[in-house]
């Protein structure tokens, strides 16, 4: 461990694409993209999104789609899902979605 152990820590963001009062889901999605861009600039290494459904203030129900949006807007930030609700998706579809993301954004998923 180095003299300054905190300098060796890799930081991540976990985002839910929260829809704040007066905003539309598109605003929340764009704010998530902007947050990812800022996080990358600040030296963060990974951006996670969590899947939630039937919550009027959270826009992260289509996590793999949002992660593609984030990856397209950043250059090196690694992306990942903080959780995939397996009862809601076919395992094959999940593998295909994340496999496609890994093909589009090598070494970032």
At 10-37, the pLDDT tens digits run 999 999 999 999 999 999 999 999 999 9
> What pLDDT sits at residue 3?
67
Q: What per-residue confidence (pLDDT) applies to 7?
A: 74
**Own/partner pairs, 92-95, CB within 8 angstroms, 24+ separation:** 94/64
Residue-level pLDDT at 106: 98
Query: In the prediction, which pLDDT does 8 show?
Result: 84
Query: pTM of the entire structure?
Result: 0.89
SS3 content of the chain, % helix, strand, coil (to 5): 45, 15, 40
Instruction: Tell me the C-alpha distance between 91 and 41, whole Å.
Output: 34
Ranges of residues in the chain with a pLDDT under 50 are none
């Amino acid at each position: 461990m180095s003299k300054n152990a905190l300098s060796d820590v890799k930081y991540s963001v976990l985002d839910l694409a929260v829809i704040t009062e007066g905003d539309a889901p598109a605003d929340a999605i764009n704010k998530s993209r902007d947050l990812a861009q800022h996080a990358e600039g600040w030296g963060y290494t990974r951006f996670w999104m969590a899947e939630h459904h039937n919550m009027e203030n959270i826009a992260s129900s289509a996590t793999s789609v949002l992660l593609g949006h984030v990856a397209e807007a950043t250059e090196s930030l690694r992306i990942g899902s903080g959780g995939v609700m397996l009862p809601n998706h076919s395992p094959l579809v999940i593998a295909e979605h994340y496999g496609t993301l890994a093909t589009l954004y090598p070494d970032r998923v």
